Structure 1
């Protein structure tokens, strides 16, 4: 993983002599994300979190190496708590939201690119009287390979994440939480991109 980050920093100084994108190109894509985390709440209690995210996106190249776009998101999560007496409790949640992103590409070789992507997301859900609102700012590294003029595959890692969440239950119960995390292992995604409208070469 350290080698990946060093490569990303190193190629950021390169020119885009081999760039295969054009200002004015439009693209649509999507990714599927999966994460699983476990933690020890106390000597007798453990928790686990399982998340699935579906992120379609629509983007527009503002230059030969940079694109902007928006991302609707649908996600499912399951949180479980267990103790030494084998008593378990779990909560399922389905949520959705909308976000915007900026992506900067660095060409490493013909058809192969590294990128970093700042993204801002707002997600909300309401289930059985419980309201949840989640604001997330992330910066993620990734890689992309252009398999044809119309298609590209990509993979991204979790990266640096700031999140602020607000949870309310009933009219007088509300809790807030803010946190920074850095994760390149448990949160990642693989996606495919289709160029449906391309500027004249």
Structure 2
């Protein structure tokens, strides 16, 4: 992700300026996220967690630098645990949901912007038995570079994240988990945006 931001900086310094954002502009886009975490336990044991996220989005400029948008999501999670008896236990989950976001752009040089994005998301698993659900709030920094009048590339970092999950296995069994994290390394994404109604120059 650090290299992605540096690349956006480099390109922005050698390119031609395009039209800036305007109130009423609309865009469609999406990003692909990847996160992996491995931890060692004292038993001994080992746990590996992998998450893949596909997130299309639709944004509408309510001013020349502010966007409101929706963000459908599809997520894949895979987890493997190795116990102290060298027993391997693995599981995977596929879920979907919706996100609502606000984004504020901060111009740096022609075509290059930093942004901050507060976001709320809700996800539910497609599994029929346990019905795990989750709710999240996040504040993510990132950078965008306009490569043409209609196309823009983006790099987003994890930022501040609050996540609460619910898991019910039956009428009398329920498991809740909450976490708060500041993560700029293991959770990030790269995306591309297409402006629907901006005119080519």
Q: Secondary structure at the match of 1:131?
A: coil
Cα distance in 2, alignment partners of residues 182 and 41 from structure 1 = 22
Shift of 1:43: 2.6
Contact 1:117 1:139 in 2 (8 A): yes
Q: TM-score, normalised by structure 1?
A: 0.87
Please list, as runs of the form range in 1=range in 2, the aligned pairs for 1:132-171 lying within 5 A after superposition. Answer: 132-171=132-171
How many aligned positions are there?
A: 185
Cα distance in 1, alignment partners of residues 41 and 19 from structure 2 = 49
Cα distance in 2, alignment partners of residues 42 and 76 from structure 1 = 28
Q: Secondary structure at the match of 1:189?
A: strand
Contact 2:74 2:97 in 1 (8 A): yes
Q: Secondary structure at the match of 2:193?
A: strand
Q: 1:120-141: per-residue Cα shift (whole Å, max 9, x none)?
A: 0000014251110100000000
Shift of 1:38: 1.6
Query: For residue 56 of structure 1, what is the aligned residue in structure 2?
Result: 56
Cα distance in 1, alignment partners of residues 130 and 42 from structure 2 = 26
User: Considering only aligned residues, what root-mean-square deviation do their CA atoms show, in Å?
Assistant: 1.9
Q: TM-score, normalised by structure 2?
A: 0.87
Cα distance in 2, alignment partners of residues 89 and 66 from structure 1 = 46
Q: 1:60-114: per-residue Cα shift (whole Å, max 9, x none)?
A: 0011111010000001000111124331101100000011000000010001100
Q: Which runs of 4+ in 1 moved over 4 A?
A: none
Shift of 1:19: 7.9
